[in-house]
Structure 1
Amino acid sequence: MNDDSQILIARLLTHQTLRRDDKMVKRVLSDEQFRAEVDKRLLESGLKLLDNVYADHVTLALHRAVEPKIFGAKDIWQNNNFGLTRDGVALLVVLWAQIILPKRERQETHQSADDDQTDLFGKEKPMPRAEDTSIGISYTALLADFGEKLGKKTRMDMNLGTLSKLGFIERRGDVILEGPLLDLMMDTDMLKERIINGALADVFKRAPLAVAPARRAAAEEVAVQEAPVAEADLDADAPDAIDTPT
């Protein structure tokens, strides 16, 4: 038995997320033998390690194969990831689209959150961390833009509180920021094309709601025009695109 793999798994179960720059996390991401051992032990319990190069954290989630055995028939649990209602899932998708997709674009072009220009000579540099490229969005603008479609202020505030407790977002005054899980639990390959060219196409054709780098404590509000978005379009594919945490 490898005590390090046991300790790493226990820490992830206890803390939910660990930073990628954690010593043991860096090892599991770079040491193939250690990763294989961790994956094997997780698989025996129906779990998997979630990580991607765009996120600053790693976490654990259930394997898709065991989800029906844990939660029951798919039509019962697929719309209840994390206990979220339909408007909660739709809000999560909107936040992911408004925060994560622009952040990933900045990371791929080596542009930090407070830069106005892309680093044309930085392709050989390491990809910037999420905390250096992630930009928050204005709650006021989000409410004005999507409030009518997502349950209005009371429902949106309730769902934002739930998403904050779950680790998807952080709130600092009027600014909604990326939380540790927002770029880990969502399946970008499944959602990206549908979001950009489908339900939120009108949103991506105009100025984003982005207002502040994640590391700043406050930001100016940005006004945006209201865009029609169908709730059914927002969350139709969302449940299948969200991994289930441990």
Structure 2
Amino acid sequence: MNDSLATLTARLLAHRVIPRQDPLARRALTDERFRAELDARLAAVGLRLLENPYSEYIALALLGAQEAAVFGQDDVWQSNNLGLPRDAIALLVVLWALIILPKRQRQHARRSKEQADQQDMFGSDKPLPHGEEVSTTLSEEALFADFGKLLGGKTRMNLNLGLLTRLGFIQRRQKGIGEGPLLDLALDYSKLAPRIIDGALGDVLRELGRSLPDQPGPQHDDEPEDEDA
């Protein structure tokens, strides 16, 4: 087990993210003893496992108690420890709202339909759907048209999209923008979703004809872990 723990920890540090379907990732999500030892090993160096059943990936994050010691040399860490400019943060929030909120709706709608169609007693144990079947791809041109004036124009948005891509928040393919490995991991749904849906950005998105849920979906803390995660 120690070799597996060392391998998983080293891979997370080296690659930043690992697909949840990876054998060691699945073991960390389903083997209670393995997870407990992993959590203890990570906590000893100020880290924790970052995962939720809605994301295709797992990653590492700092323990809350370590944030000030690591990022507290100035005031930047309090709001943005990646050093992103303000317009890049605004763009990240917009992309999160346009990609993750609809994805959560589709995941729960798909699971509810599968459970309703499932006749055997283990229907509720099916994992949440991930990937292209539920995740939204945005048109770059539509994004520029809708938010260019608000977020610095097309040139500035292009620069920030490149930065968010390098950080792993989004993926860009053929003038489309999709979910990156960290978009549904690094941003806290329970805090961000209500502020968007009930806030000014929600009003802006609805004026642009974007569909948003009336209320945030269930939080991942309340979602049972997939048996075959």
- Does the 8 A contact of 2:50 with 2:58 survive in 1? yes
1:12 aligned residue: 12
> Which residue is 1:163 aligned to?
164
Residue of structure 2 in register with 1:208 after alignment: 210
TM-score w.r.t. length of structure 2: 0.82
Offset at residue 17 of structure 1 (A): 0.6
Displacement, 1:147?
A: 1.2
Residues 137, 177 of structure 1: 8 Å contact kept: yes
Look up the match of 2:85: 85
Relative to structure 1, the CA distance from residue 146 to residue 83 in structure 2 (aligned partners, 3 Å threshold; closer, same or farther) is same
Aligned length: 204
**CA displacement 1:21-58 (0-9 Å, x = unmatched):** 10000000001110011111111111111011111010
C-alpha distance in structure 1 between counterparts of 2:208 and 2:198, whole Å: 13
Structure 2 counterpart SS, 1:93: helix
Q: Flag the 1:68–1:207 CA change in 2: closer, same or farther, 3 A.
A: same
Runs of 4+ in 1 over 6 A off after TM superposition: none
After TM superposition, the structure 1 stretch with the greater mean CA deviation from structure 2, 8-17 or 75-84, is: 75-84
Task: Please show how residues 41-56 of structure 1 align to structure 2 within 5 Å.
Answer: 41-56=41-56
Unmatched tracts of structure 2, length 5 or more: 212-229
Q: Cα offset for 1:206?
A: 5.5
Structure-2 residue corresponding to 1:221: none
The runs of 5 or more residues in structure 1 that have no matched partner are: 112-117, 210-246
Alpha-carbon contact 1:79-1:85 (below 8 Å) kept: no
Task: Give identity over the alignment, percent.
Answer: 52
Amino acid of the residue matched to residue 16 of structure 1?
R
Range moving further from structure 2, 124-133 or 53-62 = 124-133
Residue aligning to 2:218? none
Native 8 Å contact 1:50 1:184 kept in 2 = yes
Q: Distance in 1 between matches of 2:6 and 2:65?
A: 23
Tell me the distance in 2 between the aligned counterparts of 1:126 and 1:45. Answer: 31
Aligned partner of 1:134 in structure 2 is 135
1:64-143 equivalence runs, <5 A = 64-72=64-72, 75-110=75-110, 121=117, 124=124, 125-143=126-144
Q: Secondary structure at the match of 1:135?
A: coil
- The DSSP-based 3-state class of the residue aligned with 1:59 is strand
